[in-house]
Structure 1
Amino acid sequence: MVLKLYGSSQSTCTRRVGTVLLEKKIPFELVEVDLMKGQHKEPSYLEKQPFGQIPYIDDDGFILYESRAICRYLAAKHRDQGINLLPAGAKENALFEQAASIELNNFEPYANKAVAEIIFKPYWGQTPDKDVFNKLIEQLSAKLDAYDVILGKQKYLAGNEITLADLFHIPYGSMLIAAGSDIMTQKPNVTRWWNDLLSRPSWQAVKDGNFTVKA
C-alpha cells in the first residue's frame, strides 16, 4: 500500500513532510484534509490524530503524527533511498540532533509566532499587531547572528551535508517573506544557506502545492 499523507497542501507542517518525501523519492498519496470544514476535528480523524492537527501518515497501517517525528521516521526507514538526511555515525548524528534542537528552540518559536501574528490572525478574525511582529523579528535576528557564525564554518547546520535539520526551517522561514520580513537574507552566510534550501526541487514542488518534482 502506498504511504498516505493526511494534511493540507497549504499547511506548513504538511509541506515539511512533503519536502522530505520528495527528497527521499518515496511514493505517496496526499489526502487533503479540509480544515475550513473541520475535517481534522471529526471523530474518524481524531482516532488517528488525537490532537486534531495535521499532518499524519498511514504507512501500510502504521500511523504516525508530528511532522518532525514523521520526517525522522521516513529518513531512517529509507536511509539508502534518495538523499541521506539522517546521519548514522554517533558523532554525526549528535551534530544533527544539535542542529535539530537549534531549529526547534531558536528558530521555530519566533518564526512561527511572527507568521501567526501577520498571516494567521486575520483568518482567525483577529487584528495583527505590527509591534509584536517586529519584536519577534528582532529576537529572531539575534538568533540568526549565531546561525551566521555556524554557517560561516560549514555549509549546513550539522556540517557540510544537508540534513533534516536544515529542511525543517523552510516552511516557516518562507512564510516570513510573505509576512513582510527579509530577515532570512540579511546576513551573508545565512543568505547563502537559505537560498540553497529554497532552490531545492522538493521545496519548489511543495511550495506550489503540487507535491510532485518536475522532471
Structure 2
Amino acid sequence: MAKIKVHGLPFSSCTARVLACLNEKQVEYELIPVNARAGDHKKPQYLSLNPFGLFPALEDGCLTLFESRAIIKYLAKKYEGQGCPNLLGSTVEEEAVVEQWCEVESHHFNPPCYALVSQIIINPLKGGTTDEAVVESNAEKLSRVLDVYEDRLSKSKYLAGDWFSLADLQHMPFLHYLVNDVGKATLISSRKHVNAWWEDICSRPAWKKIAVHMKFPSK
C-alpha cells in the first residue's frame, strides 16, 4: 500500500494536527515540504490539491483532502482498528461529546490563539509589527475560554471524558505555540486542571515526534 502523502510545513498548526493524528494511528506517511517563501502553495500544482492555497493537503491513493479537522476525522475513522483507540468515541453519546469539544476548539479556542500567533510571530516575520491592543484583547478572550476548560477538566481527565480523543488532539498545535512561542504560557500554567491536561497530552510519544520540528523560520 502506498504511503499517505502530506503536503505542508512542520511548523504549520494544521499540518502538525494531521501529522499528530497519523502518528497516533501508527500510519506511515511522507511529509512533502512546500516552499511557501517561493509561493509554491499558490501555484497550479499545489492548488490542484488545495484550491485555497493553505496547508496541508493530503493524498491517500486516489483521494485528496484538505482542511485539517476533516482530515483527522477521516484518518481516525479509516484506521479505527489500529493505534490509539476511540479517537472519535466508542458510542453515539461519546461521539457527540467529542464532536462538541471539537466544535469548541474550532469556534472558541482557535480564533484568539490564531490572532495571538499572527500578531506576535507571523506579522514580525513578514516585516510587520505587533498590535498590542489586538494581543491584549485576544489574550482576554482566550482567558475566558480557558476558564470554561478549567471547569470541564476538573470533572474529567480529557475534554470528552476519561480517554484521549480528537477533541484533545485538535488543540495541541496552538497549545504548543502558547507555551513555547508567544509568551503566553501562564494562560495554561495558572490553571491547575488545564495545565495538568497539557502536561499529559504534550508528553504523548506521537506528539513529541511532531513538536521537535515545530520551529518557526527566522526572517
Q: TM (normalized to structure 2)?
A: 0.93
In structure 2, runs of 5+ residues without a counterpart are 215-219
2:107 to 87, 105, 108: 105
Aligned mates of 2:108, 2:10 — CA distance in 1: 26
Aligned mates of 1:140, 1:190 — CA distance in 2: 13
Match of 1:168 in 2: 170
Q: Which amino acid aligns with 1:209?
A: H
1:88: Cα distance to partner?
3.5
1:180 to 180, 183, 197: 183
1:188: Cα distance to partner?
0.6
Match of 2:40 in 1: 39
Aligned mates of 1:158, 1:88 — CA distance in 2: 12
Offset from partner CA, 1:44-95 (integer Å, 9 cap, x none) = 1111110011101100120000001000000000001100211141111001
SS in structure 2 at match of 1:139: helix
Number of residues of Structure 1 aligned to a counterpart in Structure 2: 210
Give yes or no for the alignment of 1:191 onto 2:195. Answer: yes
Match of 1:213 in 2: none
Bigger mean CA offset, 73-82 vs 98-107: 98-107
Match of 1:144 in 2: 146
1:148: Cα distance to partner?
0.6
1:159 to 150, 158, 161: 161
Bigger mean CA offset, 81-90 vs 19-28: 81-90
* Mapped contact 1:185–1:194 kept (Cα < 8 A): no
Aligned-residue CA RMSD in angstroms? Answer: 1.1
SS in structure 1 at match of 2:175: helix
Regions of 4+ moved over 6 Å: none
1:209: Cα distance to partner?
2.0
Match of 1:73 in 2: 74
Q: Which amino acid aligns with 1:79?
A: E
Aligned mates of 1:205, 1:107 — CA distance in 2: 24
SS in structure 2 at match of 1:29: strand
Offset from partner CA, 1:118-171 (integer Å, 9 cap, x none) = 001112221002232122111111111111110000011111111011011111
Aligned mates of 1:68, 1:133 — CA distance in 2: 25
Give yes or no for the alignment of 1:52 onto 2:56. Answer: no
* Percent of residue pairs identical: 39
Match of 1:120 in 2: 122
Match of 2:62 in 1: 61
SS in structure 2 at match of 1:52: coil
